[in-house]
């Protein structure tokens, strides 16, 4: 069952005031604080992850290329292309 909330948010009662906007300086400080919490990968991990992604992409390119060739040949044989 759907709840119609047009015109007002579902979280706040209609009597509450709208929250103030965050200043750009506070927003920037919050971003920096969150980035300090991130556990960044080491150089070795980063290289490993990059190699894994590149190998996966090359494999997918191979699979798509083979399927493209097979389907192209099949269509040309069925419809008698030049």
**Conformational region of residue 22, where left means phi above 0, alpha means psi within -120 to 50, and beta covers everything else:** beta
Q: Is residue 11 part of a domain?
A: no
In this structure, is residue 64 part of a structural domain?
yes
Asked whether residue 4 is assigned to any structural domain, the reply reads: no
The widest CA-to-CA distance across the chain, in whole angstroms, is 73
pLDDT of residue 43: 97
Phi, psi (deg, nearest 5) at residue 81: -70, 165
* Domain annotation covers residue 20: no
Please tell me the pTM assigned to this model.
0.55
Count of domains observed in the chain = 1
**Taking 70 as the threshold, does the pLDDT of residue 26 lie above it?**
yes
Residue 49 included in any domain: yes
Domain for residue 1, yes or no?
no
| pLDDT category of residue 21 using cuts at 50, 70 and 90 | confident
Tell whether 46 is covered by a domain: yes
Q: Is residue 63 part of a domain?
A: yes
**Can you give the residue range of the structural domain that contains 69?**
40-82
Q: What is the pLDDT of residues 35-70, one digit of tens each?
A: 999 999 999 999 999 999 999 999 999 999 999 999
What token pair was written down for 2? 């759907």
């Amino acid at each position: 069952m759907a709840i119609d909330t047009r015109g007002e948010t579902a979280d706040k009662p209609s009597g509450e005031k709208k929250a103030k906007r965050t200043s750009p300086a506070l927003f920037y400080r919050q971003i920096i604080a969150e980035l300090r919490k991130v556990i960044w990968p080491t150089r070795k991990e980063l290289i490993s992850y990059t190699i894994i992604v590149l190998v996966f992409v090359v494999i997918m390119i191979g699979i798509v290329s083979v399927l493209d060739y097979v389907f192209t040949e099949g269509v040309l044989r069925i419809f008698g292309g030049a």
